C-alpha cells in the first residue's frame, strides 16, 4: 500500500512540475504584458521536437539537448515578444487575435513538418527503483527533480534579483514601474524569453518521459489555463498550488474514476473556482 502511494506521489509530482514549468511562463507573460499567450502550448510542443532533434538525430545527449532547447526556444521568445506582442501590448483584443494566429501558424507549421510522426527520446536515466512489488521509474523522478530545481531557481531569481524585483514591480503596476525608471520593454522581452525557454524545456522532458506529438499543444494549453485560473491570474506563487492541483487530479482521477470522466471533472473544478472565487485561490480581488 505504502509503495503504491509512493508511486502515485512520484507521478503526481512529475506531472505537476511539468504543468508548473509551462504555466509559469504563461502566467509571467500575462502578468507583465497583459497578453494571453495562447501559443504557449504550441511553443511547448515545438520545444519538445527541437529537443528531440538535438538529442536523437544530432546525438547531443539529454543534458546538452535540454540546454540547447532552452536557448533556441528562449531566443524564439525574444523574437515573439518584439515582433508579435510588443506592438499590441496595450490592445488586449488585438493581442488575443495575434496569439490565436500564432497558434494556427505554429501548429500548421508543425503539421507540415513533423506531421503524423510521433517522437520520443530515451529516458534521461534508465531503470527504476524497486519498492516492494512496484517499480518507480527513475526517469520520472529525475524529470521532477530537474523541473523542481529550475522552478526553485526561477523563484529565487524573481524574489532575490533586481531584475526579478523589476518583474514583480511591472506585474503590479506597469506604468508605475516605468515611471520608476524600469526599462519595461527589456524586462518584457526577458520574461517572454524565460517563459518560452521553460516551456521548451518542459517539452523536452515530456518527450523523454511520455511522448511528442503535435496534439500535445492543445492538451497542454487547456491544462495551463486551468492551472492559472486555479492559482489566480497574476499570482506567480499560486502557480505551484494550481499545478499540483491539476497534476493530482490528472493522476488520481483516471485511476479512481472512469478515465473519460476525470478530465471533465477536473475542468468542472476550474469552473467551480471561477464561480465561487473568480480571482482564483491565490489571486487578489480587483
CB of 132 to other proteins, least distance (A): 11
Cβ 82 to other proteins shortest distance, Å: 28
Instruction: State in angstroms the smallest separation of the CB of 6 from other proteins.
Output: 13
In the complex, least distance from residue 277 CB atom to other proteins, rounded to whole angstroms: 26
DSSP per-residue letters across 241-275? HHHHHHHHHHHHHHHHS-HHHHHHHHHHHHHHHHH
**Cβ closest to other proteins, residue 137 vs residue 283:** 137
Would you say 117 or 186 has its CB closer to other proteins? 117
Nearest CA among 123, 125, 119 for reference residue 53: 119
Residues near other proteins (CB under 8 A): 7, 11, 14-15, 108, 111, 115-120, 122, 128, 133-135, 137, 139-140, 206, 210-216, 218-220, 222-223, 250-255, 258-260, 263
Closest CB to other proteins among residues 73, 206: 206
Choice between 124 and 194, CB closer to other proteins: 124
**Least gap, CB of 236 to other proteins (angstroms):** 23
Whose cell is 524585483? That residue is 165
Please say whether the beta carbons of 239 and 227 come within 8 A.
yes
Task: For 103-115, give the DSSP string.
Answer: HHHHHHHHHHHTT
Give the sign of the dihedral formed by CA 17, CA 18, CA 21, CA 23: negative
User: Shortest gap between Cβ of 13 and other proteins (angstroms)?
Assistant: 12
How far is residue 275's CA from residue 215's CA, in Å, rounded to a whole number? 29
Please, which residue, 90 or 117, has the CB nearer to other proteins? 117
Closer CB to other proteins, 148 or 222, in the complex? 222
Kindly calculate the radius of gyration of the chain based on its CA atoms and give it in whole angstroms: 19
Q: At what angle do helices 40-55 and 216-231 cross, to 10 degrees?
A: 130
Q: Cα(281)–Cα(161) distance, rounded to whole angstroms?
A: 27
Query: Helix (H, G, I), strand (E, B), or coil: what is residue 161?
Result: coil
> Other C-beta atoms within 10 Å of 254: how many?
14
Amino acid at each position: 500500500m505504502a509503495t503504491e502511494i509512493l508511486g502515485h506521489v512520484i507521478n503526481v509530482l512529475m506531472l505537476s512540475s511539468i504543468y508548473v514549468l509551462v504555466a509559469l511562463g504563461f502566467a509571467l507573460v500575462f502578468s507583465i504584458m497583459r497578453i494571453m499567450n495562447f501559443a504557449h502550448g504550441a511553443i511547448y510542443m515545438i520545444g519538445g521536437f527541437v529537443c528531440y532533434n538535438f538529442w536523437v538525430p544530432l546525438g547531443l545527449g539529454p543534458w546538452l539537448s535540454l540546454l540547447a532547447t532552452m536557448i533556441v526556444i528562449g531566443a524564439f521568445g525574444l523574437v515573439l515578444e518584439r515582433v508579435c506582442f510588443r506592438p499590441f501590448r496595450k490592445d488586449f483584443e488585438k493581442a488575443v487575435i495575434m496569439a490565436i494566429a500564432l497558434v494556427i501558424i505554429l501548429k500548421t507549421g508543425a503539421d507540415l513538418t513533423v506531421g503524423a510522426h510521433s517522437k520520443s527520446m530515451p529516458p534521461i536515466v534508465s531503470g527504476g527503483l524497486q519498492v516492494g512489488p512496484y517499480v518507480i521509474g527513475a526517469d520520472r523522478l529525475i524529470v521532477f527533480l530537474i523541473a523542481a530545481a529550475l522552478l526553485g531557481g526561477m523563484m529565487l531569481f524573481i524574489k532575490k534579483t533586481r531584475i526579478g524585483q523589476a518583474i514583480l514591480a511591472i506585474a503590479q503596476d506597469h506604468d508605475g514601474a516605468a515611471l520608476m525608471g524600469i526599462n519595461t520593454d527589456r524586462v518584457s522581452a526577458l520574461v517572454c524569453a524565460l517563459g518560452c525557454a521553460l516551456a521548451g524545456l518542459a517539452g523536452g522532458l515530456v518527450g523523454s518521459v511520455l511522448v511528442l506529438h503535435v496534439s500535445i499543444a492543445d492538451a497542454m494549453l487547456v491544462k495551463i489555463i486551468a492551472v492559472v485560473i486555479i492559482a489566480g491570474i497574476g499570482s506567480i506563487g499560486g502557480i505551484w498550488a494550481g499545478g499540483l492541483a491539476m497534476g493530482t487530479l490528472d493522476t488520481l482521477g483516471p485511476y479512481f474514476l472512469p478515465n473519460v470522466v476525470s478530465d471533465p471533472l477536473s475542468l468542472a473544478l476550474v469552473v467551480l473556482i471561477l464561480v465561487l472565487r473568480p480571482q482564483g485561490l491565490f489571486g487578489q480581488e480587483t
